[in-house]
Amino acid sequence: MRVGFDINGTHDVKFADFRKIAVIYNLGQAFLTKEDTLDDDERTVYTEDIRALLASMSEALDLKSTGSSQRTLSSEEIKALDKQATTLIKKVHALMMLEFGDTPAEATRWGFDVKQTGKRRGTILMPDGRAAIVKTLGQYAKTEKARPAAERFKSPLLAEVQAVVDGLNTNVNTRTTAKGQRASGVQQSNEASAHLLDLLQAAAVQIVVKQFECKVTPDLAQWGFEVTAKVAPRKKTPSPTSKTA
């Protein structure tokens, strides 16, 4: 985008696409740095609006960054806990098979489902997927807590199972929240970027009109704007005319 009213001038002012948020944010900061060296009556009418919008944009970018970072951390933690949960559920399933192979319905007290029909009727089923595994381990921990300590299974330890269940529930919830924060930060920063670009363009026009007599000049770069020299259009070379007899 360009400030195009100085049609016959020797310079242009270029602006980044509104989607280039970092570039526009940096331009806003450079603009304020210059404006803050001027007296109040020399500043543009848009300066304070730009200052407020830049602060809002900074908060949105922080929200986006924090959400992204937290989502990554939680995802890594979930991966590690998933492996632990898989190992634990295999141990608990093997325990259920050993303890209740002849009375499989007993295993339902610890959260396991039992196949009711078909050739494998009476089989204690292994839960499949994170949600099912966490649900089963959670019920296992609940049942074990309700039993006298002396009667609890020695392996896996109740504390180990509870720690994995709590860790997965916490991190899955945290990751979901972080995704929402990042999405909100992206939306807010995109909207602020577009508005900030509009204000910076308007400010550039005012500066050119008020301080540089409507001429785009390299001095505008003091406010952070990208000023480029115009390229003169190439003159067309006339094509040779053919002689007729």
Confidence category of residue 52, pLDDT binned at 50, 70, 90: very high
Share of the chain above pLDDT 90, in %: 79
| Residue 19 predicted with pLDDT over 90 | no
Q: Which of 132-141, 159-168, 225-234 has the lowest mean pLDDT?
A: 225-234
Question: In whole angstroms, what separates CA 109 from the centre of its chain?
Answer: 42
Q: Are 64 and 183 in contact (CB under 8 A)?
A: no
- Nearest residue to 13 (alpha-carbon basis) of 210, 234, 215, 232: 215
| Residue 83 predicted with pLDDT over 60 | yes
Return the pLDDT at 121. 85
Name the more confident of 15 and 47. Answer: 47
11-229 is classed in which CATH architecture? Answer: Up-down Bundle (1.20)
| Residue 245 predicted with pLDDT over 60 | no
pLDDT tens-digit series, residues 139-187: 999 999 999 999 999 999 999 999 999 999 999 999 999 999 999 999 9
- Nearest residue to 50 (alpha-carbon basis) of 190, 221, 216, 201: 201
Return the pLDDT at 235. 60
Confidence category of residue 6, pLDDT binned at 50, 70, 90: low
Read off the pLDDT of each residue in 98-108 and give the average, rounded to a whole number.
Answer: 95
Return the pLDDT at 2. 47
Which are the contacts of 133, defined by CB distance < 8 A and separation ≥ 6? 85, 86, 89, 127
| Residue 73 predicted with pLDDT over 70 | yes
Strand, coil or helix: 40 = helix
Which are the contacts of 125, defined by CB distance < 8 A and separation ≥ 6? 112, 113, 114, 115
Confidence category of residue 117, pLDDT binned at 50, 70, 90: confident
Strand partners for 124: 114
Strand, coil or helix: 2 = strand
The mean pLDDT of the chain is 91
